[in-house]
Structure 1
Amino acid sequence: MPERRFYLLLGALALTLASGPYLYGWLNTPTGSLYSGLTSNIDDCLVYFSWMLEAGRGHLLHHNLFSTEAQNPKLLYLWFALLGLIAKASGLPLAFHLGRVLGGAALLRAVVWLLHETIQSERARKLAFALVCFSSGFGWLSGGYNPAKGFTLQPIDTFQPEAITFLSLYYSPLFAPMTALMVVFFASLLKSERTGKLTDLWPACAAGAILGNSHTYDVVHLLAVAWVCKLFTLLPGPPPNPGRRVEKREWKGLLIATAACLPTTAYTAWASRVDPLFKARAWTNEGTFTPALWWVLLGFGLPLLFALLPQPLLPTLRRQGGRRGDGKSSGMEESGSPLPNLLPGLGGGAGGGGKFLLIWLVIGIAVAYLPVPFQRKMLMGAHIPICLLAGVGLDALTARLSGDFPKIAAFFGVLLTVPSNVLYLLADIGRLDSNSGTTARKPYLSADDQKVLAYLKEHAAETDAVVVSPDPSSVKRYPGMLNSQIDAHLNAYIGGWAGVICYNGHWSETLAYPQKNDVTLRIFNANTDDEVRKQLLQENQIRYVLVVNGFSEIQTERYSGVGWSVHQPAFLEPVLITDSQILYKVL
């Protein structure tokens, strides 16, 4: 099959399969319900909804709808501003999935570019592309994600979509396009090194600038890889290859690409400090630390083994040698290398061929252990060099077979890397059948849910805040989840669907979420004195109180659910009563 058609068909298949659970959810919507368009980790996806909703309203500066503290928004997320304009015309779910599919297509196209900049063999490129599209790690051996183990005691391919390309295509409109920017940055840098033309750097400059705006911490990943590659050119190789002096002109391209990243990165860093809420929240999120290294390596699984096979890679990986625009040699073919028998030389710049991919592999994992609260999120992009090197390794491993066996062995080699992704999708499809997600938020909105959200969207002011009672069914759906009895199904939907501030809106976006949950329990505790309850509502600037009928069924040692259907405080006025919920306005 012609190479270009192969990439087109395989990429289309990957994007289609990654959309499978969403199509299943839409086609199987229960009568009277509305499908939100979401499956896995609905909480965070509703944060993306809120960004699009705000942009569609004309509020381009990022405002947090999941916390009630004073804000001084300065952040502008360009990608979600664009999606917000689309959402204004098409609706939130459709804009979400348009962004996801288009961002995924951009990522796969960028990978094709990088393949041609790093790998000579067409067969190896095709295998690498297939691994990028479909591969995962060894998480399937433990049966997929187990919530009882948390995020630190199981392979990352069971729970971390940023770490696996297929899951990035599936999960959201954020991860795939941001990974695409990373790939474009490196491919452009490599092309500029190969041709010696600074004009070939403009895609890297644009990609770095946009990434600095929309997913800022990945600029650290980018520049760490690029500069470590550059520094490797200074290391002496084994005899007879001495170290060489790198001329100033050879640093110019990397300096220009680095400079392009800095303005948006610096602005985002400044803006995040000017907004007190964003500053406080960003550095108090302790839920995203990277698990032990072996869980990361197991999460990359078989592709990582293929990538590190001791094969003669020099004939397959592209050598970044060439001629500069002025006709002089780029110096890439004669430079010494600390790994001369394994990988081709880096040359004068950001890297080339196998050594670039190997350095990206190592640094891409290493940056996930920097001392920051959002460590494991920085694994985004590390799967790409693993798959590219794995394609070369699998090619070398199977090429010596005779007849049709190379094709058969390569096919099964790729197929063996797929099971974790299959389990991930099947688990989400299974949860759709029970109207549950990986958190307490439900993917289907009942008729009563829709009435409440529509009322708030129409009648509540943008500065009004809502507090939501716990969902009595969440403890039944999540018996093993810590504090599941205090989760509220509609809380994240208040901000992400109705566009109204929610006092107890989101486990990470809400500042001091555990403390606010304690306040929430006091508000809805039948044993709380009405005067104390009124004071709590006023102190926290809460304008609406949403009670899920049946909340009084929840009885624990800490609290007893309110029974306001019989007696309600005088300072609460019911403004909407449905079969399952009552919405009160605080007088």
Structure 2
Amino acid sequence: MNRFPLGVWLFALALAAVTALPYVAGALNAPSATLYSGAALVPSGAAVDYNSHLAKMWQGRRGEWDYQLLFTHEAHPGLPLVQGFYTLLGALSPFDLALTYHLARFVLTIGMVLALWVFASHFFETPSARWICLLLSTISAGWSWLLLFVPGATAQVGPIEFWLIDAYNLIGALFMPHFAAAVILQIAAFLTFEAWVRSAGAAWRGLLLLTALLAAMGIVQPYIILLSLPLLLILLGYYVISAKLLTWRRALWLLLPLAAHTALIVYQYVAINNDAVWRSFSEQNITASPDLLYYILGYLPFIIPILIGARTFVVDEADDRWWLPLLWVLLVAMLLYAPFPTQRRYLLGVQTPLAVLAAYGWTRAFLPRISAGRRPLLTGVYVTLTALAPALLIFANINAFAHPQMPATTAVYYSADELIGYEWLRGQANPDDLVLTTFGWDGQGSGGRMVAALGQRVFMGHWIETTRFEEKIAQIASFYNPVVPDEWRLMFLQNNGARYVWYDDSARVLGGWNPADAPFLEQVFSSGSVTIYRVRLNG
């Protein structure tokens, strides 16, 4: 408790509470006879990712540690230690999975704020500088939303503050608990490394702790290897060759945590690429960077004080601690346009070192030029301007939930008919029985919702975790096209191993074919807009 002032604890609790407000609004405004799923409304893809995380939690709840893709019909091997964060969460919690998800998000948001305070304290001695760093690393975001005032500038890509949630610590924690966990693990691992370098002897406790932290980081955020390994190796080389803080003999002890970190990521890479289904998942997992202008404006609130403090930083007395945030930012900048399909993934946590460098520029170069009486006001105004995007994102979700009858809003509520249908499947179907579902590029359809609600295997339900996604969009459209012969439909169902057909409004809009007319389908459930058909095994 002494390490964290009371104000930091209160700030952490306040942020966790504020980020919970959209979900509280979603639950309180649920229309009659519906159930709130627990997903956010803004950005639109948040609900799709939420469904994916609950799929992992369902498998953990059932004791299935070898994770499989529930959003696709093809048989494929389960992979232990892949997506283990949510699997573990589902296995450990006795509560409802949606509640568990948000409890974890709440607790880890608090933990993230505390970790960011520790990181700030590593670089700054005065409470005021630490607080500025903490504010910049939490409530601050970017200004690419200014492009909204430029005609046509956001026609193809919107401001990154409103969709690229990997880019900012608090915005990431607002939607996904594993993002907050990743930030905590990054800070813990890198500071443990720094502490070990400055300790004496082998320091086994620190070495084993670093090994565990890097292993956990590899499970929670596997893409981190392209950042963490070069970062630690460069720092290691500096501490051995230039700073003389380490001997080569002692530095070799770091092979243990680095090898464990690398081996875990290599295992995941090989396992995923050795199977056609998992390889399709990997090939569809493309997160390319937007144009550079979006990043410049998106991180402009950090870039400005960094540039102001650049000259002071260069002439200031050398301090080995500053190599960590500096190299961290430079490596991320290189990875953002490196020839990898996961470019945006490396943004996760980069706000942490950016905030440290920005706080340096603000406190050591800018504020000394300002009279003491005006410093709090200017700092408050600047931080407030940087916090507009997170505040707008939270408000947008709360406002959307205030209108639960709007078509876009109903997408995160389960209707009474759906809930009764899910209850029937829960009692009559096995979790591995494939259900023919719908899903589209707009994120709408029955597949993702069913997986989140039941942990049921479905034909399609996710942009990435449904293999050959575009092909399956065409297939499901053909299935409901009335001009397609029933012989094709029967063969399609048999070849894919479908056991049930879920027929609802999302299926009706795809075409005029009615499953009730098919001799190879048996109606086993009906409630309002939802009908479930069992596929007759003999056709």
What TM-score do the two structures reach when normalised by structure 1? 0.82
CA contact (8 A) 2:445 2:461 kept: no
Deviates more, 1:296-305 or 1:40-49: 296-305
Matched, 1:392 2:360: yes
Deviates more, 1:535-544 or 1:396-405: 396-405
For 1:219 and 1:48, the matched residues in 2 are separated by: 22
CA contact (8 A) 1:39 1:443 kept: yes
1:177-235 CA-to-partner distances (Å, cap 9, x unmatched) read 01211111111112223344634344322210111223211122112222233445689
Please list, as runs of the form range in 1=range in 2, the aligned pairs for 1:70-469 lying within 5 A after superposition. 70-76=75-81, 77-87=83-93, 89-143=94-148, 149=154, 153-196=157-200, 198=203, 199-232=205-238, 247-249=247-249, 251-252=251-252, 254-286=254-286, 288-310=287-309, 341-342=315-316, 344-346=318-320, 352=321, 354-396=322-364, 397-435=366-404, 442-469=411-438
CA contact (8 A) 1:32 1:447 kept: yes
CA contact (8 A) 1:164 1:383 kept: yes
Structure-1 residue corresponding to 2:534? 585
Superposed CA RMSD: 3.0
Structure-2 residue corresponding to 1:17? 18
For 1:441 and 1:63, the matched residues in 2 are separated by: 29
Amino acid at match of 2:70: L
CA contact (8 A) 1:494 1:500 kept: yes
CA contact (8 A) 1:33 1:444 kept: yes
CA contact (8 A) 1:179 1:380 kept: yes
For 1:59 and 1:262, the matched residues in 2 are separated by: 25
CA contact (8 A) 1:67 1:505 kept: yes
1:418-457 CA-to-partner distances (Å, cap 9, x unmatched) read 1111222222233334559998981111111211222222
For 2:171 and 2:403, the matched residues in 1 are separated by: 22
5+ residue gaps, structure 1: 237-242, 315-338, 347-351, 471-481
SS of residue matched to 2:430: coil
**Deviation of 1:18 (Å):** 1.4
Matched, 1:34 2:35: yes
User: Residue 523 of structure 2 is aligned with which of 567, 570, 574?
Assistant: 574
Structure-2 residue corresponding to 1:473? none
| Matched residue count | 526
SS of residue matched to 1:583: strand
Q: Evaluate the alpha carbon distance shift between residue 226 and residue 343 of structure 1 in structure 2; reply closer, same or farther with a 3 A threshold.
A: farther
1:278-310 CA-to-partner distances (Å, cap 9, x unmatched) read 223112333x11112221222122123223323
User: Residue 52 of structure 1 is aligned with which of 33, 37, 57?
Assistant: 57
SS of residue matched to 1:544: strand
SS of residue matched to 2:498: coil
Deviates more, 1:209-218 or 1:399-408: 399-408
Q: Evaluate the alpha carbon distance shift between residue 207 and residue 229 of structure 1 in structure 2; reply closer, same or farther with a 3 A threshold.
A: same
For 2:58 and 2:225, the matched residues in 1 are separated by: 27
Please list, as runs of the form range in 1=range in 2, the aligned pairs for 1:463-482 lying within 5 A after superposition. 463-469=432-438
What TM-score do the two structures reach when normalised by structure 2? 0.89
1:467-510 CA-to-partner distances (Å, cap 9, x unmatched) read 2246xxxxxxxxxxx954xx643210222221111112211100
Q: Evaluate the alpha carbon distance shift between residue 188 and residue 343 of structure 1 in structure 2; reply closer, same or farther with a 3 A threshold.
A: farther
**Deviation of 1:271 (Å):** 2.9
CA contact (8 A) 1:572 1:586 kept: yes
For 1:193 and 1:381, the matched residues in 2 are separated by: 23
CA contact (8 A) 1:544 1:586 kept: yes
SS of residue matched to 2:198: helix
SS of residue matched to 1:355: helix
Q: Evaluate the alpha carbon distance shift between residue 521 and residue 23 of structure 1 in structure 2; reply closer, same or farther with a 3 A threshold.
A: same
SS of residue matched to 1:582: strand
Q: Evaluate the alpha carbon distance shift between residue 11 and residue 244 of structure 1 in structure 2; reply closer, same or farther with a 3 A threshold.
A: closer
Amino acid at match of 1:60: W
Percent identity, aligned pairs only, is 23
5+ residue gaps, structure 2: none
CA contact (8 A) 1:137 1:301 kept: yes
Structure-2 residue corresponding to 1:328? none
Please list, as runs of the form range in 1=range in 2, the aligned pairs for 1:533-548 lying within 5 A after superposition. 533-548=489-504
Q: Evaluate the alpha carbon distance shift between residue 66 and residue 469 of structure 1 in structure 2; reply closer, same or farther with a 3 A threshold.
A: closer
Q: Evaluate the alpha carbon distance shift between residue 106 and residue 274 of structure 1 in structure 2; reply closer, same or farther with a 3 A threshold.
A: farther
Q: Evaluate the alpha carbon distance shift between residue 415 and residue 48 of structure 1 in structure 2; reply closer, same or farther with a 3 A threshold.
A: same
For 2:317 and 2:405, the matched residues in 1 are separated by: 48
For 1:462 and 1:113, the matched residues in 2 are separated by: 44
